[in-house]
Amino acid sequence: MHAVDENGDSTYQWGIWRCLVAEIQHGGCTYVLDEGDFYRVSSDYVDELDRAISAIAPSSRVLTPTTRTTVEGDYNIAAANDPALLLLDKQTVRIPARTTAIEICDLLSTDRQLIHVKRHLGSADLSHLFAQGLVSAQLLQSSVDFRRAAQQKIREVRGTKSGFTFITEQPIQTSQFEVAYAIAERWNGRAPVDALPFFSKVNLREVVARLQEMGFRVTLSKIDAH
């Protein structure tokens, strides 16, 4: 596979195997193809992993469906027409302890839901999604600088919207907050446990465990893309 620039020149290339993702049942074992490598996974491990993913409840906040051609940013803008949702996609903040800018979430609800939205079910995209939710939640819990910066950013973007004053410099009660992951895809009736790539499920289980240890509620919801 080749990536080409506007002049038709090849700028990067990679093997076709890296484009393929599969989970195959054969001879009582599960085989996973990811990033060009095959893995044999214990059936007991797969069963335990799937139980953990199935146990993640959907959010009470139902997000509107989208289309297959709507990009993530445009979807978030449209969703924020809801007066109970504030658009924070691409509204990053910086704090002295971090060298890179941090996104609080894509959509913030008046019910204290930190909603992180991602299009498609690619492993790399989902890894970014899960990490975004974890980093933001950790900093909300532990960093007064981050809470102060988040408070200021929310003031800047909320306009006439009300109900978004619950993040202050004071420590938060994590049990009052929900880290809500929402994935837009053509689900075709599939549950997340059946559609998520194997290593994304492994990553998600780890992230959920860490967030729950901190006291956050964690949800996983589907956004149907027709």
Tokens, residue 191: 């549950």
Give me the pLDDT at residue 14, please: 86
Give me the pLDDT at residue 36, please: 81
Burial (CB count within 10 angstroms: exposed 0-12, middle 13-18, buried 19+), residue 81: exposed
How many Cα neighbours within 13 Å face the side chain of 113?
A: 24
CA end-to-end span of the chain:
29
Give me the pLDDT at residue 156, please: 96
Ranges of each domain in the chain: 2-41, 51-224
Kindly report, residue by residue over 72-122, the tens digit of the pLDDT: 999 999 999 999 999 999 999 999 989 899 999 999 999 999 999 999 888
3-state secondary structure the chain: CEEECCCCCEEEECCHHHHCCEEEEECCEEEEEECCEEEEECHHHHHHHHHHHHCCCCCCCCCCCECCCCCHHHHHHHHCCCCCEEECCCCEECCCCCCCCEECCCEEECCCEEEEEEECCCHHHHHHHHHHHHHHHHHHHHCHHHHHHHHHHHHHHCCCCCCCCCCCCCCCCHHHCEEEEEEEECCCCCCHHHHCCHHHHHHHHHHHHHHHHCCCEEEEEEEEEC
How many Cα neighbours within 13 Å face the side chain of 78?
A: 12
Q: Can you list the residues of the chain whose pLDDT is less than 70?
A: none
Is residue 77 within 8 A of residue 99, CB to CB? The reply is no
Give me the pLDDT at residue 34, please: 80
* Torsion region of 8: left, alpha or beta (phi above 0 gives left; psi -120 to 50 gives alpha): left
Tokens, residue 208: 């959920």
Distance CA 122, CA 30 (A): 20
Give me the pLDDT at residue 50, please: 95
Give me the pLDDT at residue 53, please: 98
What is the total residue count of the chain?
A: 226
